[in-house]
Amino acid sequence: MQEFIFNSFVTLVVVVDPLGLAPIFAALTKGYSAERRRETAIRGTILGSAILFVFALAGDVLLEALGITLPAFRIAGGMLLFLLALDMIFARPSGMRSKTIREQEEDSFEGDVSVFPLAIPLIAGPGAITTVLLYTGGRTPAEVGVFAGVLLVVLLLTLVSLLLASRVMGLFGETGANVLSRVLGVLLAALAVQFVLDGIQASIV
């Protein structure tokens, strides 16, 4: 169980990336008052959390309804997370972590960033949803409960990072955040490969 907690925590921290969200949030809320910035951070985190917890509690039902076996999803999810890890290591923007041109155009006309792009896709993006489904699919109720607790901790860390975005940027700086992102990307790549191997092994047995 300790290994499960550690792996799930590391994966969620890497995928959600509380530290990496700080500079993005600071840029999105540039010109906001302190009160509006705080309200935006809280609202966006709550909405993103709601989405992730829905997938955590209904993941098995969703996979069963789509006719997807858990080994198949582990392989596909592992490959998806591996691509995300490559983006982090080589600093390549992609639809997994950044907005498309069309989304950027829509964002310029929208004053409230708490729903888009903060809640979706920055907090509850494809990588985070995939991670939630990977760690809750086929698990016992106790394991799902433990994972929900880990998810809550990571989301609280995310909220703290958003609320202290300016201080976080001052503490780590852009270079420090980039270095940390690449190191975490290597860890995520290893975990992604493990998901693929587990899926292949489960499909053979």
Residues of the chain with pLDDT under 70: 92-111, 169, 172, 174, 177, 205
What is the reported pTM?
0.76
The total number of structural domains in the chain stands at 1
Residue 77, number of CB atoms within 10 A of its CB:
25
Instruction: Report the C-alpha gap between 71 and 106 in whole angstroms.
Output: 37
Give pLDDT, residue 94: 55
197 lies in which domain range?
2-204
Using an 8 Å Cβ cutoff, are 19 and 159 in contact?
no
Residue 188, number of CB atoms within 10 A of its CB:
26
Q: Which pLDDT tens digit goes with each residue over 84-99?
A: 788 878 876 655 555 5
Quick one: tokens of 178? Answer: 């980039």
Task: Burial-class residue 125 by CB neighbours within 10 Å (0-12, 13-18, 19+).
Answer: buried
Quick one: tokens of 4? Answer: 């499960």
Quick one: tokens of 68? Answer: 């997807």
Q: Is the dihedral of CA 174, 175, 180, 182 positive or negative?
A: positive
